[in-house]
Amino acid sequence: MVTWRIIPFKRHDPFENMAIDEAIFRTHQRGGESPVVRFYGWKNPAVSLGYFQDAEEEIDCAYCRGKGIDIVRRPTGGKAVLHGDDLTYSLVAGESIPPFSHDVVETYRIISGCIIRGLAKSGIDVQMVEEGRGGVGSAGSFCFATSYKNELLVGGRKICGSAQVRTRGAFLQHGSVLIDFDPLAVCAAMGRTGDAGGAQEIEAAVTSVREMIGGDVSVDDLCLNIAAGFEEVLHMRLVEGGLSPGEEALRDRLLEEKYVRDEWNLKGGRTGSGY
């Protein structure tokens, strides 16, 4: 049976999380690697920005700094996510590694199917939307306020948001499954402090694992279930492993030269930094 590497759940600070994902992705661009699934959490609350977002226009940077919420820019596109009580996954693979292809939408569909199978094992009935349902106007920079094609809803409310980047024959997709969330905190981070109406709109559009199962959830159990979903849908086996020495070295370099720098996190590619 085909085997892939899985890096077990661990919490890191936001900058290291992004550096790890990109290090694995860059290593795969050189070819010859089996796909890698990683589960992780966040040591500190953080807003992750999509690659193309303007930090000053789309989030309240002063509020985030005052509340100790870190700001990090992802190598992937999409909209802002307030991380804290969520389970984040990443998958890195070559574009031509079965069952994947150069078709971005199809790749989303395949990975979404794995998440659906895993969440079903946790007792959550998730549907994949064929077409986006539009956005919540009062928090339009918030990833979970909008659903796109092949994203995941429970009763019409979004529970998982994902983003992808691909180049040089490889792709990175990562996303977050909401374990819990605070709509007022989301509004504040997005620059709408005290927007009770906006919070109500978000609450009507977004749900969480804890709400769906009606109580606490073990992150370890959630990881096991989603990992089993990947194995069952893709007919392969996940073998636990860590970062290679090359990935560790690249992670450290990306941390120092990119992800701990405001030039990257607040301004992104417009600064000329990055790879």
- What pLDDT digit, counting tens, does each position of 163-197 carry? 999 999 999 999 999 999 888 888 888 877 666 77
Which tokens is 196 given?
Answer: 């009770």
| pLDDT 10s digits, 259-271 | 999 999 998 754 3
Question: How remote is the C-alpha of 154 from its chain's centroid?
Answer: 18
Is 146 among the domain residues?
yes
Calculate the average pLDDT of the chain: 89
Active site residues: 143
Provide the number of structural domains found in the chain. 1
Q: For 96, left (φ over 0), alpha (ψ -120 to 50), or beta? A: alpha
Is 273 among the domain residues?
no
Is 29 among the domain residues?
yes
Q: What is the CATH number of the domain that holds 199?
A: 3.30.930.10
Is 167 among the domain residues?
yes
| pLDDT 10s digits, 4-38 | 999 999 999 999 999 999 999 999 998 878 999 99
Expressed as residue numbers, the domain containing 78 is 3-268
Local confidence band at 200 (pLDDT 50, 70, 90 cut-offs): confident
Q: Which residues contact 39 (CB under 8 A, 6 or more apart)?
A: 6, 7, 8, 9, 87, 88, 89, 223, 226, 227
Local confidence band at 47 (pLDDT 50, 70, 90 cut-offs): very high
Locus of tokens 């700094």: 65
| pLDDT 10s digits, 201-231 | 888 889 999 999 988 889 999 999 999 999 9
pLDDT, residue 116, reads 97
Is 275 among the domain residues?
no
Alpha-carbon dihedral of residues 178, 183, 185, 189, nearest 10 degrees?
A: 90
pTM of the model: 0.91
pLDDT, residue 145, reads 55
Residue 139 has pLDDT above 60, yes or no: no
Is 204 among the domain residues?
yes
Residue 65 has pLDDT above 50, yes or no: yes
Is 274 among the domain residues?
no
pLDDT, residue 151, reads 80
Question: Please, what sign has the CA dihedral across residues 143, 149, 152, 154?
Answer: positive
Read off the pLDDT of each residue in 135-149 and give the average, rounded to a whole number.
54
Residue 134 has pLDDT above 70, yes or no: no
Read off the pLDDT of each residue in 98-122 and give the average, rounded to a whole number.
94
Q: Which residues contact 40 (CB under 8 A, 6 or more apart)?
A: 7, 9, 10, 11, 12, 17, 20, 88, 89, 90
Is 55 among the domain residues?
yes
Q: Which residues contact 102 (CB under 8 A, 6 or more apart)?
A: 95, 96
